[in-house]
C-alpha cells in the first residue's frame, strides 16, 4: 500500500503539518493540505510558501491548499491529522461526515485531551466508527519541522495495531533523510510524545535559572522515569520509552533551541509569567495544556509524577520555580530503579 497511496489529505497547516505534507508531495503524492487561517491559505496559493509557520521553505507543486474538510478528504486514501490536541476531537467530528469506507486515519498530534485525560487514539475511538480504528496509526519521534524540511537526517516511529499497515505507512513516509521505524505500542508512542513537552518546560526553566548541565541531565533522566511509570500503568510497553518516541523525543525537546516548550520554560525561569509568554506566541506549545492533563491523569491512575506536579504548580498556581526545584531536591530519598 505504501506505493499505492497517491492521494493524501493533511489536516492542519502548522509547521509540522506543512512539513509532512511537503515531504509526501515531494515523493510524488497528490497532497491536499487543509488550512484553517485564511491568510496562510492565500499565501500558499499565491507564493507556495507558508511563512507564518514554516518560513524559507518552497512548497511542492503537488501540495494543494484547501479550506473545507469535504474538499480536503475527497478521493483521499490516507488522512493525516496534524492539529493541536485541544482541537483534535472537534476536527475529527468535522471530518466524520466526509469519511468513506477504505480511508485510513493517521495522527501526528502530540498531547492529552484536557477534559477527559484521553490520548488522541482514545479520542478517535470515541468519535470514529470501529472500522476506521483497525488501521488507525500515529507518528511520533524527535522531529523539528524546520530540520525535516531542510532535509536533515531524522528518525521517527509509526505505531499501529495492524503491523502490516504500519509497514505500508513506513514505506510511504521513508526518504533518504527521513527514516521510519514501526511499533505496535500506540499507547506508549503517544504518551512519550505528549509528556516529553511537560519535562521540556521543566528543563527550560532550569536553564533559565542557570542551574547548569547537571540539573538538566537529572530532569531529563528522572522525567523519563515518570513518563515510563505512567505509561506502564496505562498498558504501554516499557521498552518504548527507551526508543525514538520516548528518550529520543525527550532529549530533543529538552535541549533543542527550536523547542517551543523549552522556550516557555526558559522564559519562566527568567521570571516571565505564563500569560505574558503565551500572548507573544503564534504557535502552540503543547506542553502548557498537557501539563494540566498529565497532572490530573497521574492522580487518576495513582502514579507519582513529581516533576510534572511541580511544573503544574508553577504554570497554574504561580509557584516560584526556585521553590519547585527545592521541593524536588528535598523529597524523600528513593531507589533509582523501581521494580
Pairing of strands 137-140, 154-160: antiparallel
Residue 339 pLDDT class (50, 70, 90 cuts): low
pLDDT tens digits for 7-66?
A: 999 999 999 999 999 999 999 999 999 999 999 999 999 999 999 999 999 999 999 999
Structure confidence at residue 130 (pLDDT) = 95
pLDDT tens digits for 282-296?
A: 777 899 999 999 999
Is residue 117 within 8 Å of 143, Cβ to Cβ? no
Kindly report the average pLDDT of the chain as a whole number.
Answer: 95
Structure confidence at residue 284 (pLDDT) = 74
**CA distances for 75 relative to 96, 98, 282, angstroms:** 15, 10, 32
CA 318/CA 86 separation, integer angstroms: 23
Residue 280 pLDDT class (50, 70, 90 cuts): confident
Mean pLDDT of the region 265-278:
92
Structure confidence at residue 3 (pLDDT) = 64
Is residue 112 within 8 Å of 76, Cβ to Cβ? no
The answer to pTM > 0.85 is yes
* H-state helical runs in 101-157: 120-127, 130-133, 145-149
For this structure, is 334 an active site residue? Answer: no
Which of 110, 196, 267, 289 is catalytic? The answer is 196
Q: Which three cell numbers stand for residue 300?
A: 487518576
CA 79/CA 39 separation, integer angstroms: 23
- Asked whether residue 281 carries a pLDDT value surpassing 80, the answer given is no
Q: Which domains can be identified in the chain, with CATH numbers? A: 7-184 (3.40.50.720), 187-329 (1.10.1040.10)
Residue 279 pLDDT class (50, 70, 90 cuts): confident
**What percent of the chain stands above pLDDT 70?**
99
**CA distances for 115 relative to 69, 192, 243, angstroms:** 25, 20, 29
Residue 54 half-sphere exposure, CB side, CA atoms within 13 Å?
Answer: 28
CB atoms within 10 A of CB 196: 33
CA 184/CA 177 separation, integer angstroms: 23
Residue 235 pLDDT class (50, 70, 90 cuts): very high
Q: Which three cell numbers stand for residue 214?
A: 547537571
Mean pLDDT of the region 157-168:
96
Residue 278 pLDDT class (50, 70, 90 cuts): confident
pLDDT tens digits for 81-135?
A: 999 999 999 999 999 999 999 999 999 999 999 999 999 999 999 999 999 999 9
Q: Which three cell numbers stand for residue 13?
A: 497547516
Amino acid at each position: 500500500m505504501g506505493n499505492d497511496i497517491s492521494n493524501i489529505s493533511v489536516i492542519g497547516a502548522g509547521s509540522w503539518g506543512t512539513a509532512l505534507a511537503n515531504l509526501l508531495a515531494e515523493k510524488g503524492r497528490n497532497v491536499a493540505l487543509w488550512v484553517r487561517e485564511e491568510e496562510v491559505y492565500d499565501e500558499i496559493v499565491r507564493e507556495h510558501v507558508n511563512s507564518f509557520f514554516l518560513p524559507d521553505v518552497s512548497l511542492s507543486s503537488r501540495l494543494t491548499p484547501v479550506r473545507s474538510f469535504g474538499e480536503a478528504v475527497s478521493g483521499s486514501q490516507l488522512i493525516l491529522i496534524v492539529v493541536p490536541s485541544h482541537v483534535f476531537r472537534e476536527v475529527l467530528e468535522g471530518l466524520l461526515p466526509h469519511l468513506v469506507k477504505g480511508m485510513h486515519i493517521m495522527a501526528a498530534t502530540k498531547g492529552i485531551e484536557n477534559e477527559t485525560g484521553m490520548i488522541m487514539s482514545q479520542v478517535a475511538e470515541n468519535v470514529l466508527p470501529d472500522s476506521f480504528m483497525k488501521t488507525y496509526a500515529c507518528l511520533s519521534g524527535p522531529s523539528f519541522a524546520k530540520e525535516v524540511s531542510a532535509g536533515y537526517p531524522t528518525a521517527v516511529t509509526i505505531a499501529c495495531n495492524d503491523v502490516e499497515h504500519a509497514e505500508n505507512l513506513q514505506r510511504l513516509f521513508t526518504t533518504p533523510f527521513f527514516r521510519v521505524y514501526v511499533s505496535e505500542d500506540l499507547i506508549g508512542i503517544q504518551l512519550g510524545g505528549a509528556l516529553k513537552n511537560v519535562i521540556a518546560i521543566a528543563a527550560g526553566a532550569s536553564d533559565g535559572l542557570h542551574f547548569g548541565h547537571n540539573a538538566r541531565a537529572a530532569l531529563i533522566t528522572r522525567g523519563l522515569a515518570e513518563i515510563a511509570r505512567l505509561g506502564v500503568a496505562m498498558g504501554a510497553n516499557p521498552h518504548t520509552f527507551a526508543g525514538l518516541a520516548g528518550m529520543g523525543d525527550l532529549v530533543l525537546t529538552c535541549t533543542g533551541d527550536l523547542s517551543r516548550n523549552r522556550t516557555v520554560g526558559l522564559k519562566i525561569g527568567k521570571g516571565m509569567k505564563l500569560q505574558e509568554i503565551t500572548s507573544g506566541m503564534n504557535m502552540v506549545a503543547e506542553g502548557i495544556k498537557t501539563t494540566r492533563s498529565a497532572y490530573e491523569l497521574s492522580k487518576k491512575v495513582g502514579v507519582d509524577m513529581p516533576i510534572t506536579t511541580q511544573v503544574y504548580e508553577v504554570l497554574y498556581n504561580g509557584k516560584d520555580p526556585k521553590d519547585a526545584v527545592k521541593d524536588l531536591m528535598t523529597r524523600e530519598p528513593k531507589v533509582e530503579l523501581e521494580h
